[in-house]
Amino acid sequence: MNRKDLLNVSFLAVMLTLTFSFLKKENIFEGLSHLYWNMMNRFFFFLLILFSGNLFASENLPPLLVAEDNYSRSDFTLNLFVDHEQKLTIQDISNGQLTSIETSSRFNIPIEEANYWFSFTLKNNGLEAVKRVIQFDEPFLFNADIYYQQPNGVWVEEKNGLSVPLKERAVPNRLPVFIVPLEAGESKKIYLMMNCKQDLLTVGITVKAVESFLIDEQFEVAGYWFFFGISLAMLLYNLFLLFSLRDELYIYYTAYCASFFIFVLMYSGYDLYFVTQPASHYDLVVSISISVACLTLFIRKLLNSPVTLPYLDKLMLFIAFIFILQGALTYIDISNYYFVVFIGLPATLVLFFIGIYAFYKNIELSNYLVFGMSWHILGLFAIAAVNAGVIEHNFVSRYGFMIGSMVEVFVFSLALSHRVRLLQEKKNEFQYALIEREQREKTALKIEVARNQKALEDAQIKMTRLQQVDDLTGLFNRPYFDEEFEREWQLMQSKRQPLAIILLEFNELALFCDKYGKETADYTLRLLAQKLVGCVGHDADIVARYGDNQFAVLLPNYNKNKCNALIHKIEVSTDLVKIPFKESQSGQIDIMVVGDALIPANEIRYTMFLDHVESLLAQPTD
């Protein structure tokens, strides 16, 4: 059987194993699924080891020669013993109750709860005593114990892992770390036992000199805290923007940053400085599910998918729901964590392709999304491939997801800043349009007000005119004549200029009205008014209807001679109006015209002069 055939068989085994794992968790066909579960885990584990090591290996592996000053080794072969029942002790393992398998110092944890024992030999090939650090390079092991025999045959046992609080460990480090002393020329066979409640992860065993360990530790601490510092700064900045702008998008972004920050804190083991119980550490695993759900909701809001991508919007809501559900299942039972391994990368790829489609559709800010998520996906591919044992474990593959996520968060922050600028530009455009519209409306309102003001003034003039004009003849009425006469009197008095008044009277108007009717009488009055206005022309200041059958003419700067001449002119003009009236002595209507002029003096009131002119109408004519 070649490796391709083994790969196909192992893939089939994995699928069947996952299928029956659900049966096991739901207690359906409990007896059959339990039997099948144990058989398939052993078969899958057999295939896994077949790929990574030699099934028929011997326990007599060459020792690791560790005398070199800066010694550091992470790629060596060791023996593996699998205790499926989790009952064997160090004595059982050292006495050979389990057959060992050769495997690499980087080990992939399958979907099975078991104790994994490793053995290898350290030899100090130097001339001086040394201390060597043995380290598991991941913090998520529940138990991580070391055993070795002293020259007197006494077993040294040191416990580590999440089951041991940080302050109770011999070396208070976030990772399981052990220090093994070696005398000059001494060899020690080391046994390591580990188990883990999280599946489908990878863990490595390294052997280092103390100095190398400290240098590497300082480098890792600096890298992690650089990541934490940058992430925390961006988180606080966007929290400030959240409280300032009160935008729903910033809620999802800050929740995504915070949850991913917590995940890295847990994944790196730095949370162990704050939490003391393994349950609390495992509770933080939920943060990865929350971060993917928040990322999905962030992308949905960033692209405004309910409007721009309505069908894909439903898919994104479904993805967010699935990860919230998966987080709840993981919180209930940490063994459900491995589901996120299967759905995390495909879901992220779906979101990435949604971003590409949005970019193709020219949706705003989709370019930021695609660029940022490409870094995130590269990091996820790296860590997933390492956990699956597909690629070699190194700095880039182990910490690439942190670098990718940090770039992604930074790019998303730029996207939010660009979005704020776009919103501000739209706001400014709206404000400018609003101001322009207000100015147009204000200008139109001013024009309308001016038009209405002009109409009002015209109406007021017309109303005033109507109040000053006689309805029948169209001449000024008596009240207006009296008002103007008083004003002209005072003016001529101040100028010492003459002022004249001419009165015209239609005698026997009542008899004429009774004889011919009101319409004929009104017509006659209008005709006389027209003749009077025609005679006076522009010389008169006021031509008014003085009484029912009387008309008056106010003439500034008219002396007696000019006044008499105008009276004569009026008499001649009215004589031409040949309207027969038998009741009159002349056989036609009788028109009387009188007038006078003087220079107003202080001792004479204008009413006295007016009474004087009226009295002329009562004098008999020649």
Could you read off the pLDDT of 44-73 as tens digits, one per residue?
444 444 444 444 444 578 999 999 988 999
Strands 115-123 and 64-65: parallel
Closest by CA position to 103, among listed 33, 63, 46, 19: 46
Digit-coded pLDDT (tens) for 357-404: 999 999 988 999 999 888 888 877 777 776 666 777 677 777 777 888
Provide the 3-class DSSP secondary structure of residue 267. Answer: helix
Digit-coded pLDDT (tens) for 270-302: 988 888 788 888 888 899 899 999 999 999 999
Same domain, 389 and 526: no
Q: Cβ-count burial of 167 within 10 angstroms (0-12 exposed, 13-18 middle, 19+ buried)?
A: exposed
Q: Please check whether residue 140 is in contact with residue 161, taking contact to mean a CB–CB distance below 8 angstroms.
A: no
E-only strand ranges, 254-348 = none
Same domain, 31 and 73: no
The CATH number of residue 197's host domain is 2.60.40.2380
Tally of CB atoms within 10 A around 404: 22
- Predicted confidence at residue 430, as pLDDT, reads 87
Q: Please check whether residue 136 is in contact with residue 70, taking contact to mean a CB–CB distance below 8 angstroms.
A: no
pLDDT surpassing 70 at residue 5: no
Would 236 be classed as within a structural domain? no
- Predicted confidence at residue 179, as pLDDT, reads 95
- Tally the domains of the chain: 4
For the record, the structure tokens of 8 come out as: 């196909």
Would 224 be classed as within a structural domain? no
Separation of alpha carbons 355 and 527, rounded Å: 94
pLDDT surpassing 50 at residue 12: no
Would 337 be classed as within a structural domain? yes
For the record, the structure tokens of 35 come out as: 């039997």
Same domain, 297 and 334: yes
Same domain, 195 and 281: no
Separation of alpha carbons 134 and 143, rounded Å: 15
pLDDT surpassing 50 at residue 516: yes
Provide the 3-class DSSP secondary structure of residue 42. Answer: helix
Q: Please check whether residue 481 is in contact with residue 542, taking contact to mean a CB–CB distance below 8 angstroms.
A: yes
Same domain, 500 and 405: no
Q: What are phi and psi of 565, to 5 degrees?
A: -65, -40
Would 579 be classed as within a structural domain? yes
- Predicted confidence at residue 622, as pLDDT, reads 53
What global pTM score does this model have?
A: 0.62
For 587, left (φ over 0), alpha (ψ -120 to 50), or beta?
left
Same domain, 418 and 284: yes
Final residue of a domain: which of 416, 431, 446? 431
pLDDT surpassing 70 at residue 447: yes
pLDDT surpassing 60 at residue 34: no
Separation of alpha carbons 591 and 572, rounded Å: 11
Final residue of a domain: which of 217, 234, 268? 217
Strands 155-158 and 101-104: unpaired
- Predicted confidence at residue 582, as pLDDT, reads 62
Question: What is the residue-averaged pLDDT of the chain?
Answer: 82
Task: Please provide the DSSP assignment of 350-412 as one string.
Answer: HHHHHHHHHHHTT-TTHHHHHHHHHHHHHHHHHHHHHHTTSS---HHHHHHHHHHHHHHHHHH
Average pLDDT for residues 139-151, to the nearest whole number? 92
End-to-end Cα spacing for the chain? 159
Same domain, 382 and 291: yes
Q: Cβ-count burial of 147 within 10 angstroms (0-12 exposed, 13-18 middle, 19+ buried)?
A: buried
Angstrom CA distances, 466 to 420, 473, 548, 552, stand at: 65, 12, 18, 18
DSSP character at residue 469: B
Same domain, 92 and 25: no
Q: Write out the H or E segment, with its range, that includes residue 440.
A: helix 395-468
Q: To the nearest whole percent, how much of the chain has pLDDT over 90? A: 28
Digit-coded pLDDT (tens) for 528-583: 888 888 888 776 678 999 888 889 999 999 999 988 998 888 888 876 555 666 66
Same domain, 31 and 65: no
Domain that holds residue 353: 247-431
Closest by CA position to 224, among listed 75, 403, 52: 403
Closest by CA position to 133, among listed 216, 53, 58: 216
Same domain, 274 and 131: no
For the record, the structure tokens of 397 come out as: 């593959």
Q: Computed over its alpha carbons, how large is the radius of gyration of the chain?
A: 57
Would 444 be classed as within a structural domain? no
Separation of alpha carbons 318 and 296, rounded Å: 10
Tally of CB atoms within 10 A around 47: 19
Digit-coded pLDDT (tens) for 222-270: 888 888 888 888 888 888 888 887 888 889 989 998 998 898 888 888 9
Same domain, 380 and 526: no
Would 467 be classed as within a structural domain? no
Would 458 be classed as within a structural domain? no
Closest by CA position to 292, among listed 320, 267, 318: 320
Q: Please check whether residue 541 is in contact with residue 554, taking contact to mean a CB–CB distance below 8 angstroms.
A: yes
Would 319 be classed as within a structural domain? yes
Burial code of 107-127, b = ≥16 C-beta within 10 A, e = fewer? bbbbbbebbbbbbbbbbbbbe
For the record, the structure tokens of 312 come out as: 């894909």
For the record, the structure tokens of 359 come out as: 């970019």
Separation of alpha carbons 80 and 265, rounded Å: 30
Same domain, 7 and 64: no
Q: What secondary structure, in 3-state letters, does 225-261 show?
A: HHHHHHHHHHHHHHHHHHHHHCCHHHHHHHHHHHHHH
Q: Cβ-count burial of 462 within 10 angstroms (0-12 exposed, 13-18 middle, 19+ buried)?
A: exposed
Burial code of 234-245, b = ≥16 C-beta within 10 A, e = fewer? bbeebeebbeee
Angstrom CA distances, 99 to 42, 54, 79, 197, stand at: 14, 12, 9, 24
Provide the 3-class DSSP secondary structure of residue 107. Answer: strand
Closest by CA position to 253, among listed 411, 422, 381, 426: 411
The CATH number of residue 600's host domain is 3.30.70.270
